[in-house]
Structure 1
């Protein structure tokens, strides 16, 4: 006999924060792999476009308004998702934004808003789906963390504190859920090219990039794509019973450096071009 019953063929999934970026890419990837997806975000018009795209490509999707800072919104979203797709087998908790600002310059309210979105909001989603998962003795909680939680960055102190709290929460869930059949995983993106944060004015991003370079946190200018994270998250969701991915960190690969022979040829070419 197998150690575990195999995962069911139909596994409804919730993707929070699906109106753009990593959440949108994850919903598309999961749907392409056969997961029915319920997508949630505050920008409902973006969700309508995403649902239409998934359905046009043969997938199954529904979309509902979701504000993870509002407990009633989370409860309503999960209830609507279950009614439309069936019991939730996979949660991808990735709703959020990022806030640039030095800790001594931002207000406590601004600091607290990051905790509400990235930590408390993730907890609301998890507690909404966990009772059913524990009863069925299976399920995947996948939380989108950040490498900022592992190595703090200047100008992102509020975001980093919230994501570090998320690490502590998920580590506790992993211990407390042991033996229930429910798996809790963290996927940490490194620098990723999405709209989150990068729509800020240059006067905010510029100083941050300078400080990151000073602390050795900006080694090159390549970024991950949202689709890179979507593949990683889907891999976690598709991991067969009997094992689980506790923590995964993705970093952008650096651009290839010029080999010594190539550098020498470039130098010769430059010499030959001189008058």
Structure 2
């Protein structure tokens, strides 16, 4: 049976587009000819990135979105759909990172990570999915993490939230079966982004030493955000009728240089 083609115009919303994986994903899709809505809290940063995309010949708008606020998410999704046309692809990747030993962090710190990474992703899904179901097509991509498969000490709230993303996406996948709408999870390994750059140095050293102790820091190589953008693009460009549900992307260890003969 021949694959069902995607529509020619596929507007994309990227939640968490002000930096890191989200910014790289927005730029990657725009360069590939997709209309892109950049969503995050820092509207000034989004506007600058949207200006750059437009200067390079792409189509982009900036919309303010706070994933911890229901109304903000609903408004941002509605505006993106109104300005670009019905959203065909939505990427939920907003987040930050707070660390600490589980018995030392406060309930507020723990709940904040859950609200941003898990509840926030649900809010974006809930706001965007209805028109996709009505239309009978669309791709929703959750940005998870390899910590869901390989938990790391000092980041219990983050691990719990990203494990929740796996469960959320698996449940949604069953619920959407037969609708024509696809849901997928992309799990990055260690990626060089701004997330975590403001952490306490001593805590970070202690955390990394614990990771080494449990074999969780095998090498010092990192993915670039563009690696993840390529993975997300690969997931949503699968022909309709096929479904790439999970994609884990890891940094390759140092490649030994072989002498020439």
Provide TM-score, normalisation by structure 2. Answer: 0.97
Residue number in structure 1 paired with 2:232:
233
Alignment coverage as a number of residue pairs: 260
Q: By how many angstroms is 1:126 displaced? A: 0.7
Residue number in structure 1 paired with 2:99:
100
| Distance (Å, rounded) in 2 between the aligned partners of 1:113 and 1:178 | 32
Question: What is the root-mean-square deviation in Å for CA atoms of aligned residues?
Answer: 1.4
Residue deviations 1:175-208 (CA, integer Å, cap 9, x gap): 1100000000000000000010123231121111
| Distance (Å, rounded) in 2 between the aligned partners of 1:124 and 1:251 | 28
Gaps of 5+ in 1: 263-275
Residue number in structure 2 paired with 1:255:
254
Residue number in structure 2 paired with 1:148:
147
Indicate the structure (1 or 2) with the bigger Cα radius of gyration.
1
Residue number in structure 2 paired with 1:169:
168
Residue number in structure 2 paired with 1:6:
5
Q: Please state whether the residue corresponding to 1:192 is helix, strand or coil.
A: coil
Residue number in structure 2 paired with 1:28:
27
Residue number in structure 2 paired with 1:270:
none
Q: How does 1:88-237 map to 2 (within 5 A)?
A: 88-237=87-236
| Distance (Å, rounded) in 1 between the aligned partners of 2:92 and 2:81 | 16
- Asked if structure 2 preserves the Cα contact closer than 8 Å seen for 1:153 and 1:212, the reply is yes
Gaps of 5+ in 2: none
Q: By how many angstroms is 1:258 displaced? A: 6.1
Provide TM-score, normalisation by structure 1. Answer: 0.92
| Distance (Å, rounded) in 1 between the aligned partners of 2:26 and 2:209 | 34
Residue deviations 1:79-113 (CA, integer Å, cap 9, x gap): 11011101111000000111111111101111111
Q: By how many angstroms is 1:50 displaced? A: 0.6
Q: By how many angstroms is 1:244 displaced? A: 1.4
Residue deviations 1:5-24 (CA, integer Å, cap 9, x gap): 42101011100000000000
